[in-house]
């Protein structure tokens, strides 16, 4: 899954760059013939639809006591032409840009002067996509200030909900960052990071689905495409989060879901940038991914239920998750049919996120204590109690991990402490233990930090490394030959001088594992051991 996470992060970066480019380079081509210097009513216009993508609304400009009379309506992906008395007074056209065949979404304000009262008005809307054709907007008439105020007040609950979702997501991510800095980067923290990422992006997407968001930020196409991109980006962390809730996290169906999401994200961005298909036209791919993912969740839940792997808490989570996914599908359906998503689905999402956040933070607090104990036992299992370096169990585990490419790079040093038995028999085991400890420290200092030093027997050590030059290897042997390990008994005058014999070998054609290389190094080590003993007796 590491490669999937890396690819997802890369696509997040690409998406941010694309959105910044859109924000900097896009403008709406708006022509307004009249700009004037408060009550709001909703106009009732006759509607005609050509059955394809053009919609016409006809009505009459009525009187109003508003200080600045304005006709306002919201459109999504529609070119606009407003005529009053046969004269074009307002147009929104598709600009010449790299971002598709849409003028974006946003509120339109057509100012009215006294001379236009009583005249016929026609609003012609031409949809850029078949899915958005035939949507009849609500037409408001009155003061622009009051219209804006009314729209913002209507959307206050949605703004609050989206803001809370983003805050919860960011709070989760900050909490995970603090845990990671403190050294607690376990599976639960990673899972909670997925949840925080999903919640943050969900809040951004939900916010951009609010009609009045363009009244606040203005850039209609940026807001629209931010909604599309965030919608695609939030699928991956939700899949990864859900995957971690199941016992079988490595099932191939999870990877298929992830790769489908990545393919949708990369393909949609590529088609958009190449001006082949707009995001709106490739949105169905994301829907297919979501439906497939929902099927996977149901399948995995049934599978693990039959195996008796679902706890009571897990059953509640899975049932809630299925309901949430169904709510998400309803939201998408609402987005496709009416251009806006259902606020009830967002409330369910936020409640679910808060509950899960509480559950995971509670579990993390408990696991932190257990994790420290587990780390201690894990360290004891693979650490030599006397010297503190890796033991034979760690050595066996490490060399079993070498594939043929790593085997070709490995360099093996096998070492043995001369006269340890004599030291134990004649000067006592405490002095012998000090001999072993000081030798371990000496060997560690002799090699670089990247080398792994193991105690594989009572007086035997092995060093696994790679990339050492012949000059560096010669330096090791020269140092070993010239150095005597001076060991003094604590509180006594006993002094022992020991030596370390060493044999070196590396990969040869035909070697199948590290054991074969170490066996040759062991033979050379015993030859060196004999020579050192002869040298010390002279």
Run of H or E residues at 395: helix 392-399
Instruction: Identify the pLDDT of residue 374.
Output: 47
Looking at residue 335, its pLDDT comes to 56
Whether the Cβ atoms of residue 25 and residue 97 lie closer than 8 Å to each other: yes
Which DSSP letter does residue 143 get? E
**pLDDT score of 276:** 82
Residues of the chain whose pLDDT is less than 50?
35-37, 367, 369-371, 373-374, 538
CB atoms within 10 A of CB 288: 11
Among 314, 318, 267, CA closest to 289:
267
How far, in Å, CA of 533 to CA of 501, rounded? 10
**Nearest partner of 138 among 126, 147, 149, judged by Cα:** 147
CA torsion 85→88→92→96, rounded to 10°?
160
Q: Rounded to an integer, what distance in angstroms lies between the CA atom of residue 124 and that of residue 90?
A: 11
CA 469 centroid distance within chain = 40
Q: pLDDT (tens digit, 9 = 90+) per residue, 284-338?
A: 888 899 889 888 888 888 887 777 766 665 666 666 666 666 666 666 666 555 5
> Cα torsion at 340, 344, 346, 351 (round to 10°)?
180
Written as six digits, the tokens of 215 are 């009244």
List of domains in the chain: 27-152 (2.60.120), 155-371 (1.20.1070), 392-537 (3.30.70.270)
506 in Cβ contact with 412 (< 8 Å): yes
CB 467 within 8 A of CB 409: yes
Give residue 66's pLDDT: 58
Distances (CA, A) of 337 to 77, 130, 136, 493: 13, 11, 12, 92
Residue 279 and residue 104: Cα distance in Å, rounded? Answer: 12
Nearest-angstrom CA–CA distance, 392 and 64: 91
Q: Collapsing DSSP states into helix, strand and coil, what is residue 495?
A: strand
> Alpha-carbon distance 115 to 190, whole Å?
65
Cα–Cα distance, 227 to 221 (Å, whole number): 10
pLDDT digits (tens, 9 = 90+) for 124-146: 998 887 766 667 888 888 888 88
pLDDT at 83: 93
Q: Among the residues of 124-211, which ranges form H helices?
A: 144-154, 156-181, 187-208
pLDDT for the residue 107: 85
Per-residue DSSP letter, 116 = G
Phi and psi at residue 519, to the nearest 5°: -65, -40
Find out whether 342 and 157 touch, Cβ atoms under 8 Å: no
Dist. CA 199–CA 507, nearest whole Å: 51
């Amino acid at each position: 899954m590491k490669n999937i996470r890396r690819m997802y992060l890369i696509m997040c970066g690409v998406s941010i760059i694309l959105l910044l480019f859109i924000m900097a380079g896009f403008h709406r081509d708006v022509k307004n013939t009249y700009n004037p210097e408060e009550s709001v009513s909703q106009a009732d216009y006759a509607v005609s639809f050509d059955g394809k993508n053009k919609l016409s609304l006809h009505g009459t400009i009525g009187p109003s006591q508003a200080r600045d009379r304005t006709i306002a309506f919201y459109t999504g992906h529609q070119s606009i032409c407003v005529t009053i008395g046969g004269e074009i007074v307002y147009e929104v056209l598709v600009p010449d840009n790299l971002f598709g065949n849409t003028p974006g979404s946003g509120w339109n304000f057509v100012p009215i002067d006294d001379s236009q009262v009583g005249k016929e008005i026609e609003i012609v809307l031409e949809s850029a996509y078949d899915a958005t054709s035939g949507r009849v907007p609500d037409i408001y008439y009155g003061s622009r200030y009051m219209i804006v105020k009314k729209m913002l007040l209507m959307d206050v609950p949605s703004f609050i909900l989206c803001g809370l979702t983003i805050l919860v997501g960011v709070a989760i991510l900050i909490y995970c960052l603090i845990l990671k800095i403190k050294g607690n980067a376990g599976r639960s923290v990673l899972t909670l990071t997925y949840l925080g990422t999903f919640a943050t992006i969900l809040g951004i997407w939900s916010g951009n689905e609010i009609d009045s968001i363009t009244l606040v930020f203005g850039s209609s196409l940026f807001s629209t495409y931010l909604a599309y991109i965030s919608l695609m980006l939030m699928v991956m962390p939700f899949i990864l989060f859900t995957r971690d809730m199941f016992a079988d996290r490595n099932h191939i169906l999870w990877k298929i879901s992830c790769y489908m999401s990545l393919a949708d994200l990369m393909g949609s961005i590529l088609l958009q940038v190449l001006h082949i298909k707009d995001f709106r036209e490739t949105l169905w791919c994301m829907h297919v991914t979501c439906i497939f993912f929902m099927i996977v969740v149901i399948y995995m839940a049934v599978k693990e239920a039959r195996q008796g792997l679902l706890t009571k808490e897990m059953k509640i989570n899975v049932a809630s998750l299925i309901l949430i996914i169904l709510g998400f599908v309803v939201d998408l359906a609402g987005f496709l049919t009416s251009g806006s998503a259902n606020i009830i689905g967002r409330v369910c999402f936020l409640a679910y996120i808060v509950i899960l956040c509480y559950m995971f933070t509670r579990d993390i607090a408990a696991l932190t204590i257990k994790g420290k104990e587990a780390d201690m036992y894990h360290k004891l299992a693979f650490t030599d109690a006397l010297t503190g370096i890796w033991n034979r169990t760690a050595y066996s585990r490490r060399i079993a991990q070498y594939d043929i490419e790593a085997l070709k790079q490995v360099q093996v040093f096998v070492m043995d402490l001369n006269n340890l038995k004599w030291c134990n028999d004649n000067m006592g085991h405490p002095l012998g233990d000090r001999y072993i400890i000081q030798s371990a420290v000496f060997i560690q200092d002799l090699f670089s930090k990247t080398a792994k030093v193991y105690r594989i027997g009572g007086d035997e050590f092995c060093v696994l490394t790679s990339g050492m030059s012949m000059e560096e290897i010669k330096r090791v042997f020269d140092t070993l030959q010239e150095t005597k390990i001076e060991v003094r008994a604590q509180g006594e005058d006993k002094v022992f001088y020991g030596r370390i014999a060493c044999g070196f070998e590396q990969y040869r054609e035909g070697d199948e594992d590290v054991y074969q290389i170490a066996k040759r190094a062991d033979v050379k080590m015993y030859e060196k051991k004999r020579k050192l003993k002869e040298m010390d007796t002279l």
